[in-house]
Structure 1
């Protein structure tokens, strides 16, 4: 049958199939329609369909989504890392500062000191009143003289500026240092705060802002409000009631707007007889002023510390964020540019983790470029190796059509068959070699008993070898399983490749020695044969891809030249080494080849 008639026949088979697919629905289509809901069959689907775009259209969109502002155009404040460093350092500073500003213990100690001082002052005043303001009645009873007591109290509080009130045992107020009686009636005295000529406007503004803020903060102490009746009585004050019982007492009240009123009541006694109660009160302005000065000092020091912290944080961020930006931009340039002019900056002189990152990125880039070179070289070698049998196959196919001699046709068909087998072997080995890297990156190395693996390969060879095949002897320790890290399948492939290579070079009924032993932290496997050995200048070239140095008389194309290359690739992937050498006697004569595999012991 001619090629034209064959193609016409193929087209005649192909056209009805294609027309049947486009003309009427298949049974699967009708079955799918039968199972669809009624509404779906009645109403057409008007929803927009996803449009499949080519890869070259979606790639720029993905790049646009992941577009990042280069470091050269990004300020330090735009770095999220800078902001995180600033926030963390500022928070670490603010937490203890806020705790210091709270000052509950310091405030309580100041308050207790003022109350004790007020109580001591009241004891002194009550002693003076008992000595000078008491009069004895005709029946020998003693009582306080109001006018004398008022004069004494005014003289006593003239220096201390403390308000003093004197109550009689029946609760009547007979003296008040803030009330003066004159021709016009009773006059109320309100003391004014002292003027500080050195106080600046800035300090007044700061103090006012401080008072405004802290007046609006919730207080940790709930105080009873200070209330003063028009006609005061001793029962209005709890501490005065206690003082009437002969016990000194103190009290703190809320004067509003964050202010406090401190009070201390002491009994006025004469010969242990309570003649009245003296109530001393004063505002807690001194305590608030002390707290304010302390807090403002803390805020001032904290402001300086905050400024230093911000500057140091920016310096720290500049030494971290900017180099990382440089590395990221350099990696983007390397990814985008088609050439290899762009490199990763070398920051290894820093001696820190960023320097390590720079070195790792540089090594990774070099490894990627080496891998690309290896892929390009591998592709070129594959094209070259496949082209040879294809050229031979094409010549044989073109020739067989013109040759009429049956004997010549059989020879040409034999050549075609050999070339096809050679192509099949090349494609199989090339596929195996190209899968090794991907498989090694996915499969995790596990402990493998090398002793059992070597014995299995030797037993298989003994069971399947011909009578003229070389003999394999093993020399393995009985007490050691020679466990190494790897995968059983790939390490078995290495042993099989080395044994197959030794068999192909060994003379008929020769001897192949497989020996393994543990040396320090490695397991060393040697494969010795009795072949002609390896040319000294080819000891390294035999591991190159598609290199083939076959013994004389072997049919051409039997081996692809990838076995030793794949074996070396597997061994090095597991952190081992594979090398070749020649065995020699004392006279320097070559006794055969030796391949040595060193693997990490488990």
Structure 2
């Protein structure tokens, strides 16, 4: 029987010369993945992407002008309410009828009693935490919650100082410095609104404050915002008229700085910084963890691939991450399969090259011997026989080289060709008819038995290559069949598979050679057949084609119940479409 190469080789076969290092003169590039995780460019990209959101968060705290304006507006509204309450209290509790200085008679209208008004303004202003100033109709200052009527500061007892806490003091100083730094950065980054300068004359009057003059004119709730050049704080002030029914008897101005607003803004910034610090720490840790789970396996895979590329033989193990059940696991499994297949392919190429050299060497040796001999003899009959030997060797070389060429390009052709739906029944019937005509000359009958119901035998494959398989099997069966024998080609559907068998009535297979006959260059020919007629690659090529179609092929000897050999049987199983 004609044998040949298998469609693949055993796993773990040693690699060939194709796995050697780069050619001479080509510098070996430095691997960018060598080093720690922190030096990995992939790690830096992961960190950059993950840190973008926290950085945008901390940058956003410089853009708190809208929040500050909202707090400022809320504070002005609170000052309006407080001013209305204090003005109402002054109007109810400190107004008296006006007395004519000469006649000592009552004049229609009311005036402010300074003593009562001062007590009301000071008490209510202290409760509200604001500075209250009361002006009469002439614009003179009547009461100031910060000073008494003689211009002295008001003194209030303070609670005892708490025990010093170094850590608390240090945190407070740090907070103040941080707030100042943030304000400085914010002022540099963002355009700041210019406010009028707050100036407080030594002798205060309504003429110094536009909002007070407007309140004395009867305009309700006039307000102003100024910046104190000494402290840098904004001074918020609201002035309301003091009225008795519809009569304006004075104006009350309440004012406060924006220290509370700045404190609220700083607390928001501090909260953002705390969130940023926590988010930054978590982001860096998670990024390093994610980078470690990605970069380290990729580094090991890349290093192993580099070793495979520069190896000079031998099998290189690829790290196995298939247990991860993710894309890296799939990549690891694919690389391992690729490396195993590559190593097996290199081994198969080496063995194929060695077998080819051995098979070609035999006819070349015979040819050389015949040529050297024919040059030394003079007998025409012997020369004629030697020339016949030379011709046979040349034909044998031509046939061997053709079969070797077909086998060597088979892999590339099978990988490029596109499989299409194919009904095997017409193909097998046509092949049986062709071989029946040729076999009839030798007294051999070839017949085809398809499915009894005529159902299609559809598979996915390449028709020319599958035809080559059954052509080899039929030719092989005809060559081993005795005169008057029958070669039967059967095909049927068996579940999800199409099963085709080729049976002959020849001597059967040599015991123990059922798998060996599919090895390349194996040849077991019938007695009487001319030597060198077959290359020994037919069955090997057939097995390679069948396995590339996800099928299998096997051979066995047919026997009867008594153990008598009836012939050989080749079985081809292909997935049905």
TM-score (norm 1): 0.77
1:498 paired with 2:473, answer yes
How far apart, CA to CA, are the structure 2 residues paired with 1:226 and 1:572? Answer: 91
Question: 1:545-560, aligned counterparts within 5 Å?
Answer: 545-560=520-535
Matched residue SS, 2:243: strand
Q: CA 1:254 to 1:420, structure 2 compared with 1: closer, same or farther past 3 Å?
A: farther
Question: 1:100-249, aligned counterparts within 5 Å?
Answer: 110-111=71-72, 113-137=74-98, 138-144=106-112, 149-150=117-118, 152-166=120-134, 172=139, 174-175=141-142, 177=144, 200-217=169-186, 225-228=195-198, 232-233=206-207, 236-237=210-211, 241=214, 247-248=220-221
Structure 1 unmatched ranges of 5 or more: 1-55
How far apart, CA to CA, are the structure 2 residues paired with 1:571 and 1:305? Answer: 60
How far apart, CA to CA, are the structure 2 residues paired with 1:558 and 1:85? Answer: 66
Question: 1:159-558, aligned counterparts within 5 Å?
Answer: 159-166=127-134, 172=139, 174-175=141-142, 177=144, 200-217=169-186, 225-228=195-198, 232-233=206-207, 236-237=210-211, 241=214, 247-248=220-221, 259-340=233-314, 343-348=317-322, 352-462=326-436, 466-467=440-441, 468-476=443-451, 480-508=455-483, 510-558=485-533
Structure 2 unmatched ranges of 5 or more: 1-19, 99-105
How far apart, CA to CA, are the structure 2 residues paired with 1:276 and 1:234? Answer: 15
Deviation of 1:180 (Å):
5.6
CA contact (8 A) 2:131 2:146 kept: no
Structure 1, residues 24-76: CA drift from partner, whole Å, max 9, x if none?
xxxxxxxxxxxxxxxxxxxxxxxxxxxxxxxx998355443x321573xx133
How far apart, CA to CA, are the structure 1 residues paired with 2:303 and 2:375? Answer: 62
Q: CA 1:486 to 1:267, structure 2 compared with 1: closer, same or farther past 3 Å?
A: farther
How far apart, CA to CA, are the structure 1 residues paired with 2:193 and 2:143? Answer: 24
Q: CA 1:206 to 1:447, structure 2 compared with 1: closer, same or farther past 3 Å?
A: farther
Q: CA 1:145 to 1:299, structure 2 compared with 1: closer, same or farther past 3 Å?
A: same
How far apart, CA to CA, are the structure 2 residues paired with 1:327 and 1:410? Answer: 65
Matched residue SS, 1:225: coil
CA contact (8 A) 1:510 1:530 kept: yes
Deviation of 1:435 (Å):
0.7
Q: CA 1:572 to 1:233, structure 2 compared with 1: closer, same or farther past 3 Å?
A: farther
Deviates more, 1:507-516 or 1:413-422: 507-516
Q: CA 1:428 to 1:188, structure 2 compared with 1: closer, same or farther past 3 Å?
A: farther
Partner of 1:59: 23
Deviation of 1:429 (Å):
0.5
Q: CA 1:276 to 1:579, structure 2 compared with 1: closer, same or farther past 3 Å?
A: farther
The alignment covers a number of residue pairs equal to 538
How far apart, CA to CA, are the structure 2 residues paired with 1:242 and 1:465? Answer: 127
Partner of 2:17: none
How far apart, CA to CA, are the structure 1 residues paired with 2:217 and 2:565? Answer: 125
RMSD over aligned Cα atoms: 3.9
CA contact (8 A) 2:237 2:256 kept: yes
CA contact (8 A) 2:429 2:448 kept: no
TM-score (norm 2): 0.80
Matched residue SS, 1:593: strand
Which of structures 1 and 2 has the larger relative contact order (alpha carbons within 8 angstroms, sep 6+)? 2
Structure 1, residues 518-545: CA drift from partner, whole Å, max 9, x if none?
3333222222223222223111011000
Partner of 1:564: 539
How far apart, CA to CA, are the structure 1 residues paired with 2:478 and 2:68? Answer: 96
Structure 1, residues 266-286: CA drift from partner, whole Å, max 9, x if none?
442323544444232212211
Deviation of 1:167 (Å):
5.3
Q: 1:574 aligns with which of 545, 549, 563?
A: 549
CA contact (8 A) 1:244 1:276 kept: no
Deviates more, 1:220-229 or 1:479-488: 220-229
Deviates more, 1:402-411 or 1:428-437: 402-411
How far apart, CA to CA, are the structure 2 residues paired with 1:517 and 1:173? Answer: 120
How far apart, CA to CA, are the structure 1 residues paired with 2:498 and 2:330? Answer: 32
Q: CA 1:235 to 1:163, structure 2 compared with 1: closer, same or farther past 3 Å?
A: closer
Deviation of 1:420 (Å):
0.8
CA contact (8 A) 1:146 1:174 kept: no
CA contact (8 A) 1:330 1:342 kept: yes
Deviates more, 1:492-501 or 1:427-436: 492-501
Q: 1:87 aligns with which of 37, 48, 51?
A: 48
